[in-house]
Amino acid sequence: MRITLLLAASACIMAAVLVHLSQVEGRLLRADPDAIPTNAALMAFARGRGEALFVAHCAACHGIQGQGAPGRGIPILSDSDWLYGTGLVSDIEQVIKYGIRSYHPKTWNLAIMPAYATAEPSARDSQIPSLSPGNIRDLVEFLIHEQGRSADSAAADRGADLFAGAGGCYDCHALDGKGDSAIGAPNLTDRITLYGDGSRESLSMSIAYGRHGMCPAWVTRISPAGIREVAVFVYSLSHPG
């Protein structure tokens, strides 16, 4: 009899816990995602659950603490440098849902770096020309100069003309080279690099052979609440405390 009562009590407690979790999940999904960081209770709930999901699904590439792999095209998630959006919970949630250059129709797939050393640099735009090794060296010197590093001034001037002219680099990275996070075009005037170490060699490789990393779409593999929880956790990595 006592065992029966204990089992019944345990079942009631478990049911109450599940109801509570369901209610909090509902509040989480109804909330403005970008207002969640101002709600301590929702933030704590989502962050704890999101961390477990992140470790299970995202850490294999991004690392347990979002440290990424600079040089291999896996972004750091714990700093304030963002390629897609500005690091709001809603921006992060969009990436998790639909990915980057995934096969989902809603994925981010606008900025694809051409491979300028090849015969056909861009499969999307036949007007983008191939560049000679000398052209690529000039562009590299221009980028080095824009980052405030010592550069060959004559080559940098030629590179500036290419950047704003025939090379078409300005179309994604803007005339000032500061990029456009809305489409995933990085700022080229700082010293933050996603591929390589920022050396002349690594910059030359990016220009010559192109870059177009990807992130899978999780919308069919993680629940809506789970996706928001992961987004909140990733947000918390770049907003400690």
Domain architecture of the chain: domains with CATH: 2-97+219-238 (1.10.760.10), 133-209 (1.10.760.10)
- Tell me how crowded residue 76 is: count the other CB atoms within 10 A of its CB: 19
Per-residue pLDDT of the chain (241 residues; tens, 9 = 90+): 667 655 555 655 655 555 456 788 999 999 999 999 999 999 999 999 999 999 999 999 999 999 999 778 899 999 999 999 999 999 999 999 999 999 899 998 888 899 999 999 998 888 899 999 999 999 999 999 999 999 999 999 999 999 999 999 999 999 999 999 989 999 999 989 889 899 999 999 999 999 888 999 999 999 999 999 999 999 999 998 7
For the CA atoms of 159, 164, 165, 167, what is the dihedral angle to 10 degrees?
60
Count CA within 13 A, CB hemisphere, residue 234: 33
At 13 the pLDDT is: 61
